[in-house]
Amino acid sequence: MTYWVLRVVRKIAQWLPLRVCYALAVLISDVAWAILPVQRENAIDNMARVLGRNRDDPEVRRKARSSFRNYGLYLADFFRLPKIGVEELEARVRFNGWEHLDRALAAGKGVIFISAHVGNWDLGAALFARKGYPVSVVAESFHPKKLNDLVQGTRALHGMKVIPLETSARKVLGALRNNEILGLLIDRPSPEAGVLVRFFDGMTEVPAGAALLALKTGAKLISGVIVRNRDHTYSGFLTSHLEVEPTGDLATDIRLLTQRIMDSIEFFIRQYPEQWFIFRPMWPKDAPANP
């Protein structure tokens, strides 16, 4: 059922004028805000932590609701992705910091590009690929297979290689050995196999894979986001290479580097909190503030 709904929605999104498509996306997002109480409350809790305010603060609820709307706009752009040509892509997305990417690739050991559920990561990866950068993205698979093929096939149309999260090890290492860009989203709570970090003055666990890969392979690690502007163009920002001074203890180095990554992600989210799309609990309910 989900597969056919998405196929129909994608067709409609590509057929409608962009302005109408966005208006419908906002309307549907407002409906979702009203009928999805679990996701709504999670968004409010997370936004309260980001803003450092009480969850009942009107500003917290306003920005949390805006995050729903921005996610709807992201989905509208994603459904329209097959229709977006190279000229439109380059006209709508402007990046700052290409020199950081080129410098990292010049080392010849691959680049791990870390981002978050902010703005529109798919448009950024599509622009990388269209500019000739070899890009692989690690993504969770959907079920059934035809649904996964629909979603991941949309990304592949613009030259991205999609590596399934559950079978990623060999392909990930192969991409780095070929000096490719490997895209990962790190802002996903991972209480069972993660590393403890400070994030917006609360302690949470996030995946350790990016730091481990960088330390083991020598790949350069940079972070960045692609955020929506008021006129629905996008601005991309890249950091310089993230690294830490080795301590001689791998577990400690992983924790320190992961913390460095999360600090850079926090910097971006603080500037664009309403464009952060996390509708699950990011922090445990009893998460202590960092001393």
What is the structure's pLDDT at 286? 61
User: pLDDT digit string (tens) for 199-226?
Assistant: 999 999 999 999 999 999 999 999 999 9
What is the structure's pLDDT at 253? 97
Per-residue pLDDT, averaged over 109-124, amounts to 93
Residues in contact with 261: Cβ distance below 8 Å, sequence separation at least 6, in sequence order: 114, 186, 210, 211, 221, 223, 242
Per-residue pLDDT, averaged over 123-150, amounts to 86
What is the structure's pLDDT at 291? 37
pLDDT at residue 235 is higher than 80: yes
pLDDT at residue 31 is higher than 90: yes
Q: Which residue bears the tokens 């629909």?
A: 150
What is the structure's pLDDT at 276? 97
Q: Which of 17-31, 105-119, 185-199 has the lowest mean pLDDT?
A: 185-199
pLDDT at residue 263 is higher than 90: yes
What is the structure's pLDDT at 290? 44
Tokens of 252: 């400690």
Helices (H), the chain: 2-15, 18-35, 37-51, 58-80, 86-92, 98-106, 121-130, 145-156, 169-177, 209-217, 250-271
Per-residue pLDDT, averaged over 141-149, amounts to 83
pLDDT at residue 101 is higher than 80: yes
Residue 281 CB-half CA count within 13 A: 11
Enumerate the domain spans of the chain. Answer: 1-83, 86-274
pTM of the predicted structure, to 2 decimals = 0.92
- Respond yes or no on whether the N-terminal peptide bond of residue 144 is cis (omega within 30° of 0): yes
In the chain, pLDDT over 90 holds for what percent of residues? 66
User: pLDDT digit string (tens) for 61-98?
Assistant: 999 999 999 999 999 999 998 888 888 888 899 888 88
pLDDT at residue 177 is higher than 90: yes
The burial class, CB within 10 Å (0-12 / 13-18 / 19+), for 141 is middle
Q: Is 275 left (phi over 0), alpha (psi -120 to 50) or beta?
A: alpha
pLDDT at residue 167 is higher than 80: no
pLDDT at residue 268 is higher than 80: yes
Residue 159 CB-half CA count within 13 A: 18
Q: Angle between the 37-51 and 58-80 helix axes, to the nearest 10 degrees?
A: 120
Q: What gap in Å lies between CA 169 and CA 87, rounded to an integer?
A: 35
Decide which of 168 and 13 is more confident: 13
pLDDT at residue 130 is higher than 60: yes
Q: What gap in Å lies between CA 184 and CA 172, rounded to an integer?
A: 11
Per-residue pLDDT, averaged over 30-45, amounts to 98
